[in-house]
C-alpha cells in the first residue's frame, strides 16, 4: 500500500473519530475540515466531500444538506468503527 492510500485510510478514521467525540455525533463540513487540519490532515473541500460520500455509502455516516453546507452524522455502525468495536476495510484500525 502506498503512502497516499495509507493517508486516506487515516483521514477516514479521523473523520469518524471527530464525529464520535461530539455530543450529538455530528459536525458540518467546515468544522470537520478545520478539525482535520488541526490533526495534520489538510484536505481540500472536494476531497473531504468525497470521503464523506464514501463513508455514507458504507452506512457509517449520514450526510444532510442544510442550506449549502453538508452536515455529517455518525450512525450506530460508524460509532462501532470509531470506537474500535468493528472494523471496515478502507479505514485504518483504531490505534494504528
Please, what are the domains in the chain? 3-83 (1.10.10.10)
CB atoms within 10 A of CB 72: 28
d(CA 13, CA 11): 5
What pLDDT, in 10s, does the model give residues 32-87?
999 999 999 999 999 999 999 999 999 999 999 999 999 999 999 999 999 999 99
Dig out the grid coordinates for 9 from the structure: 485510510
The per-residue pLDDT for 96 is 62
Is 90 exceeded by the pLDDT of residue 8? yes
Amino acid at each position: 500500500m502506498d503512502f497516499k492510500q495509507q493517508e486516506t485510510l487515516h483521514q477516514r478514521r479521523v473523520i469518524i473519530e471527530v464525529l464520535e467525540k461530539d455530543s450529538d455525533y455530528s459536525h458540518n463540513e467546515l468544522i470537520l475540515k478545520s478539525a482535520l487540519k488541526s490533526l495534520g490532515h489538510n484536505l481540500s473541500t472536494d476531497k473531504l466531500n468525497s470521503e464523506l460520500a464514501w463513508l455514507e455509502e458504507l452506512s457509517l455516516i449520514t450526510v444532510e444538506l442544510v442550506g449549502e453546507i453538508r452536515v455529517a452524522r455518525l450512525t450506530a455502525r460508524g460509532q462501532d468503527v470509531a470506537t474500535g468495536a468493528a472494523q471496515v476495510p478502507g479505514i485504518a484500525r483504531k490505534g494504528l
